[in-house]
Chain A
Amino acid sequence: NAGVTQTPKFQVLKTGQSMTLQCAQDMNHEYMSWYRQDPGMGLRLIHYSVGAGITDQGEVPNGYNVSRSTTEDFPLRLLSAAPSQTSVYFCASSYSITSGDEQFFGPGTRLTVL
């Protein structure tokens, strides 16, 4: 199994550009989520999904969209990039939303918005 994969690993955008961060998992996990990691702060939840066709907002959803058309894929879209979105983005998945499930993280995408 490849686990959780993310692409790209690095990205530089100009203010106002849009892009999609890709996330895929091959473990048949129902629960997938996106976090951002900023210096001096813990990871913060952006959006999550409990299954195909179901998504919801997390703590910091503004400026981001998600969709979940398949169990495997959970892309994160930046609609109009802003410097405040410069961060490291992690996708994570687990078998279900219950408390007993191990979280698997992707390798991260380092995004810089100029």
Chain B
Amino acid sequence: KNEVEQSPQNLTAQEGEFITINCSYSVGISALHWLQQHPGGGIVSLFMLSSGKKKHGRLIATINIQEKHSSLHITASHPRDSAVYICAVRYSGGGADGLTFGKGTHLIIQP
């Protein structure tokens, strides 16, 4: 079964720290998504990547297709960044069978 692995599972940091969350996958993909789930439960899409790097505010997402690895970085972290960050991939090779999700990284930013 194709898997998506995230690390770390849990991360607690101080406000202002630079945060990195990692995602690796096992076979070729056509797209990788980073999602954010707040304590209230709602899920929002942060990035969709197929190559390179994307930046939105303090968030940066990168992907290395050859190494089958992606990272999500948060600069100048803030308590409002506390959430679960989820990596999800759409495997290449056709088919419309949705996304495969990692288990998520639970991030807590302390003031």
| Residues of chain A at the chain B interface (Cβ within 8 Å) | 31, 33, 35, 40-45, 48, 50, 56, 58-59, 88, 90, 97, 99-105, 107-108, 110
Contact = CB atoms under 8 A, between A and B. Distances in A.
Contact of A90 (B43, B97, B100, B103): B43
B5 to A, nearest CB: 10
11 contacts: A35-B98, A42-B102, A43-B88, A43-B99, A44-B101, A48-B96, A56-B97, A105-B35, A105-B44, A105-B45, A108-B43
What 8 A-B pairs come out closest when comparing CB atoms? Answer: A42-B101, A99-B30, A99-B31, A45-B98, A105-B43, A97-B96, A43-B101, A42-B103
B13 to A, nearest CB: 22
Contacts of A48: 96-98
A45 B35 CA distance: 16
B33 A103 contact: yes
Contacts of B98: 33, 35, 45, 48, 58
A14 to B, nearest CB: 24
Give the residue among A41, A42, A48, A50 with the most B Cβ atoms within 10 A: A42
A104 B45 contact: yes
Interface in B68-102: 86, 88, 90, 92, 96-102
Nearest to B48: A102
Nearest to A45: B98
B111 interface: no
A100 B42 contact: no
Nearest to A90: B43
B96 A105 contact: no
A99 B50 contact: yes
Contacts of A99: 30-31, 50, 90, 92
Interface in B1-48: 4, 30-31, 33, 35, 41-45, 48
Contacts of A100: 31, 48, 50
Given A42-B4, A56-B97, A100-B31, A108 B41 contact: yes
A105 B99 CA distance: 13
Nearest to A9: B41
